[in-house]
């Protein structure tokens, strides 16, 4: 028996709304300070990881649709940065637990990322930031290895562009 097209579309819609955590891998090619709301964010050429989560309507896929385009009217800190940063890849997981702060901590610790001078993307938690800057492209393999050692029950992490 073949798969009904409506069933396949319904399945895609259900998958599309799943919650989870994600990281935007961004390439920075500018050397300047940009305005993020009322603050300044100094940028140098290199790489950045922005960690986010989506546990509301639309799930991770809905949030990523927003992040993939440039916002006409910035809402979140990342909306300001996206004008200056090329989205190279997305790391995502549909883990049902809230793991955003764990991911941010790994970027700061084990991956050696540098936090900006303000709590970029971390206004609703106690993390120093949810954006971390790197001179070289951070390793997804190293990230996953460290994540698995810290949270063995964590769901898989996949990469897409």
pLDDT of residue 15: 54
pLDDT of residue 85: 96
C-alpha closest to that of 77 among 103, 50, 59, 53: 50
Taking only the tens place, the pLDDT of each residue in 108-149 is 999 999 999 999 999 889 999 999 999 999 999 999 999 999
* pTM of the model as a whole: 0.88
Q: Which residues, at least 6 apart from 131, have a Cβ–Cβ distance to it below 8 Å?
A: 48, 49, 50, 51, 77, 78, 81, 115, 116, 120, 121
């Amino acid at each position: 028996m073949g798969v009904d097209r409506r069933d396949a579309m319904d399945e895609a819609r259900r998958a599309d709304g799943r919650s989870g955590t994600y990281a935007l891998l961004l390439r920075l090619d500018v050397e300047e300070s940009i305005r993020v709301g009322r603050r300044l964010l100094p940028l140098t050429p290199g790489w950045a990881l922005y960690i986010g989560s989506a546990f509301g309507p639309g799930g991770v896929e809905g949030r990523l649709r927003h992040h993939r385009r440039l916002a006409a009217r910035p809402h979140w800190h990342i909306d300001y940065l996206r004008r200056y940063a090329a989205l190279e890849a997305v790391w995502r997981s549909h883990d049902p637990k809230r793991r955003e702060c764990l991911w941010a901590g790994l970027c700061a610790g084990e991956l050696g990322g540098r936090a900006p001078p303000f709590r970029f993307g971390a206004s609703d938690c106690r993390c120093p930031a949810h954006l971390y800057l790197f001179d070289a492209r951070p390793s997804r393999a190293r990230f996953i290895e460290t994540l698995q050692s810290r949270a063995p029950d964590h769901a898989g992490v996949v990469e897409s562009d």
